[in-house]
C-alpha cells in the first residue's frame, strides 16, 4: 500500500502515528503546505484504507483511529532497530509475551533493510539472556496492559475489577496516570475517584478493564514521576519483619549491595548510612544483610521475631566454614 503514496503523504502518515491528535494548521506547518492540501491528502489516506478521523471544536483536528485491520507502520532506522532488539529480549512479567514477540519479530525482520538486519543480528549475537530467580513471578495479561496504556495516554477514566492482597474483590473507577514495570510485577499508578486519593494497583490483579469514554484533565502526581511514586509506596508498605541499622558505607553502595528501594537507605554522611529493611519473608532480610557490614550494636533494632532466622542462617554459614576448614586441614595432612 505505502509504495503508492508520495513522499509528502508518507510524512503525513508518519506524523499521524506519532501523536494522538494534530490540528490541520499544525500538519500544514510541519509539511509546508496549505490546509486545502492537507484535507486532500487526508481524503486520499482514507481512500487507501487508513482510518483517519476528523474532530471538531476547540481541540479539533485529525487522528489515526483504530480500524478493522492494522495499517502499515512507518518507522525510521533507529525505531526499527529498537523494536527488533526489544522483541528479541521480550520483557518479563507479561503472560505469553515470548511467543508473541517471536511472531512479531519474524514479520519485522522479513522487511528490514539489509543494513538494519545486520545491526540487529550483531546485537543479538553479542547478547546472552540470563533468567534470574527474582525475575519470575506474577504475569500481567497483555490485553489488560494495552487497555490500561491507552487509557493512560488518552487521560480516560477506566473501570475494572480488582482483587486486593487479602483476597477482597471489588469494582474500581480510576483516572489512570502511568504503568510501571517493577520487574517482574507491573503496577498501575492511578487516582481512585471513589476514595479520592492516589493508589497503586497490581496489574496481575486487575480484570475486565473498560474505558468509560470520559476524558479528564491530568492531575499532578505527588512524586517526581511514576517510578518514584511506586518506589515510595513499596518502601512504605507495612511488613511482618523489620530491621534497622547504621552501615559504615555511603548510601549508593548500600543501596546497590542490598538491592534496596531508594527510600530504604538514607545517607548520614559520605561514609555512613542508615538502612531500613522490611519483608514478610525473613529470609529476604537475612540475604540482604549478608552483603554489608553493620555499624555499632546500639544502632541495630527491629522485629525481635526476626532474630531466630538470622541465628539459623549464621549457624549454617559457620557450619559451612567449619567444613571447609576441616577439609583443608585433612588435605594438608595427606600432603
The mean per-residue pLDDT over the stretch 60-70 comes to 69
pLDDT higher than threshold 80 for residue 129: no
- CA–CA separation, 262 and 212 (whole Å): 36
pLDDT at residue 68, as a whole number: 47
pLDDT higher than threshold 70 for residue 80: yes
pLDDT higher than threshold 60 for residue 76: yes
- CA–CA separation, 108 and 121 (whole Å): 13
What torsion do the CA atoms of 67, 213, 228, 182 make, to the nearest 10 degrees? -50
pLDDT higher than threshold 80 for residue 125: no
Q: Is 278 exposed, middle or buried (0-12, 13-18, 19+ CB in 10 A)?
A: buried
Q: pLDDT band for position 262 (50/70/90)? A: confident
CATH topology assigned to domain 238-311: Alpha-Beta Plaits (3.30.70)
- CA–CA separation, 260 and 6 (whole Å): 54
More confident residue, 279 or 1: 279
Tell me the range of 113-117, 191-195, 260-264 where mean pLDDT is highest.
Answer: 191-195
Q: pLDDT band for position 231 (50/70/90)? A: confident
With contact defined as beta carbons under 8 Å apart, do 128 and 219 qualify? no
CATH topology assigned to domain 2-64: Arc Repressor Mutant, subunit A (1.10.10)
| Structure-block grid coordinates of residue 178 | 502511568
More confident residue, 56 or 241: 241
pLDDT higher than threshold 80 for residue 122: no
Q: pLDDT band for position 303 (50/70/90)? A: very high
The mean per-residue pLDDT over the stretch 89-110 comes to 66
By C-alpha distance, which of 267, 231, 235 is closest to 252? 267
Q: pLDDT band for position 174 (50/70/90)? A: very high
pLDDT at residue 4, as a whole number: 43
Q: pLDDT band for position 188 (50/70/90)? A: very high
The mean per-residue pLDDT over the stretch 304-325 comes to 90
HSE toward the beta carbon, residue 332, CA cutoff 13 A: 6
- In the chain, what percentage of residues exceed pLDDT 90? 29
Helix, coil or strand: residue 53: strand
Q: Per this entry, what is the length of the chain?
A: 335
By C-alpha distance, which of 73, 84, 64 is closest to 22? 64
Can you tell me which residue has the cell 508518519? 14
With contact defined as beta carbons under 8 Å apart, do 293 and 248 qualify? yes
pLDDT at residue 141, as a whole number: 82
Mean pLDDT (the chain, rounded):
82
pLDDT higher than threshold 80 for residue 133: no
pLDDT at residue 333, as a whole number: 60
pLDDT higher than threshold 80 for residue 139: no
Q: pLDDT band for position 216 (50/70/90)? A: very high
Q: Which of 52-56, 200-204, 324-328, 329-333 shows the lowest per-residue confidence on average (mean pLDDT)?
A: 329-333
- In the chain, what percentage of residues exceed pLDDT 70? 81
The mean per-residue pLDDT over the stretch 176-197 comes to 88
With contact defined as beta carbons under 8 Å apart, do 171 and 236 qualify? no
Q: pLDDT band for position 86 (50/70/90)? A: confident
Helix, coil or strand: residue 235: helix
CATH topology assigned to domain 142-226: SH3 type barrels. (2.30.30)
Q: pLDDT band for position 236 (50/70/90)? A: confident
User: 297 to each of 34, 258, 284, 301, 311, how far by Cα in Å?
Assistant: 76, 19, 21, 9, 16
The mean per-residue pLDDT over the stretch 238-259 comes to 90
- CA–CA separation, 141 and 124 (whole Å): 27
pLDDT higher than threshold 70 for residue 326: yes
Q: pLDDT band for position 113 (50/70/90)? A: confident
Amino acid at each position: 500500500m505505502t509504495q503508492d503514496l508520495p513522499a509528502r503523504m508518507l510524512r503525513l502518515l508518519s506524523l499521524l502515528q506519532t501523536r494522538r491528535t494534530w490540528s490541520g494548521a499544525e500538519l500544514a506547518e510541519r509539511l509546508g503546505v496549505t490546509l486545502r492540501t492537507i484535507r486532500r491528502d487526508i481524503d486520499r489516506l482514507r481512500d487507501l484504507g487508513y482510518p483517519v478521523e476528523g474532530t471538531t471544536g476547540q481541540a479539533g483536528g485529525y487522528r489515526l483511529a483504530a480500524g478493522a485491520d492494522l495499517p502499515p507502520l512507518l518507522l525510521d532506522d533507529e525505531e526499527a532497530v529498537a523494536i527488533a532488539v526489544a522483541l528479541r529480549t521480550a520483557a518479563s512479567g507479561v503472560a505469553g509475551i515470548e511467543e508473541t514477540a517471536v511472531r512479531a519479530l519474524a514479520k519485522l525482520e522479513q522487511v528490514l533493510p539489509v543494513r538494519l538486519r545486520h545491526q540487529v543480528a550483531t546485537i543479538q549475537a553479542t547478547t546472552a539472556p540470563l533468567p534470574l530467580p527474582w525475575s519470575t513471578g506474577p504475569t500481567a495479561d497483555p490485553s489488560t496492559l494495552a487497555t490500561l496504556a491507552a487509557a493512560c495516554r488518552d487521560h480516560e477514566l477506566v473501570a475494572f475489577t480488582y482483587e486486593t492482597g487479602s483476597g477482597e474483590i471489588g469494582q474500581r473507577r480510576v483516572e489512570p496516570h502511568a504503568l510501571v514495570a517493577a520487574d517482574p510485577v507491573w503496577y498501575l499508578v492511578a487516582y481512585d475517584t471513589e476514595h479520592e486519593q492516589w493508589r497503586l494497583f497490581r496489574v496481575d490483579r486487575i480484570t475486565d478493564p473498560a474505558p468509560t469514554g470520559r476524558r479528564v484533565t491530568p492531575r499532578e502526581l505527588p512524586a517526581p514521576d511514576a517510578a518514584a511514586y511506586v518506589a515510595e509506596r513499596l518502601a512504605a508498605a507495612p511488613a511482618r519483619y523489620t530491621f534497622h541499622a547504621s552501615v559504615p558505607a555511603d548510601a549508593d553502595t548500600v543501596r546497590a549491595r542490598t538491592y534496596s528501594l531508594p527510600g530504604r537507605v538514607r545517607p548520614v554522611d559520605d561514609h555512613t548510612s542508615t538502612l531500613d529493611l522490611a519483608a514478610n519473608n525473613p529470609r529476604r532480610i537475612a540475604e540482604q544483610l549478608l552483603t554489608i557490614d553493620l555499624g555499632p550494636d546500639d544502632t541495630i533494632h527491629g522485629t525481635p521475631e526476626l532474630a531466630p532466622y538470622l541465628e539459623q542462617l549464621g549457624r549454617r554459614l559457620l557450619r559451612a566454614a567449619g567444613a571447609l576448614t576441616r577439609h583443608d586441614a585433612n588435605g594438608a595432612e595427606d600432603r
